[in-house]
């Protein structure tokens, strides 16, 4: 008996990619905030990660909000289309068997 192939929902891939991006951005934003509070920001512009810290200082909140919106869209999309992808896979398997 052939092993049933699990349905592939592209929204799951989107969730993984956006979720990882959000986690990395949130961690970098926390590092930036910690540096600001601890007064450890270097004055030299060649300091490691200086561009990222400056970018997050200016656009960090908007970037996090955009990533949360994308996570919400991907979550809703995955939930709504889950039955569609499952039925499509099952129909394709039955066509191949019969």
> SS3 of 41, please?
coil
Handedness of CA 25, 28, 34, 38 (dihedral sign): negative
Q: What is the largest CA-CA distance in the chain?
A: 71
- The answer to whether 25 touches 70, Cβ cutoff 8 Å, is no
pLDDT tens for each residue of 29-64? 998 888 877 765 555 545 567 788 888 889 999 999
Q: Residue 85: CB partners within 8 Å, gap ≥ 6?
A: 7, 8, 9
| Stretch (H or E) spanning 29 | helix 10-37
88 vs 81: which has the higher pLDDT: 81
22 vs 91: which has the higher pLDDT: 22
In the prediction, which pLDDT does 47 show? 59
pTM confidence score: 0.73
């Amino acid at each position: 008996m052939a092993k049933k192939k699990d349905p592939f929902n592209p929204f799951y891939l989107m969730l993984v990619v956006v979720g990882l991006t959000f986690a990395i951005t949130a961690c970098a934003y926390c590092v930036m905030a910690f540096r600001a509070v601890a007064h450890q920001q270097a004055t030299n512009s060649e300091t490691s990660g200086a561009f990222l810290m400056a970018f997050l200082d200016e656009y960090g909140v908007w970037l996090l909000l955009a990533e949360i919106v994308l996570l919400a869209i991907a979550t809703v999309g995955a939930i709504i289309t889950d039955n569609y992808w499952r039925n499509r896979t099952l129909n394709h398997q039955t066509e191949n068997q019969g």
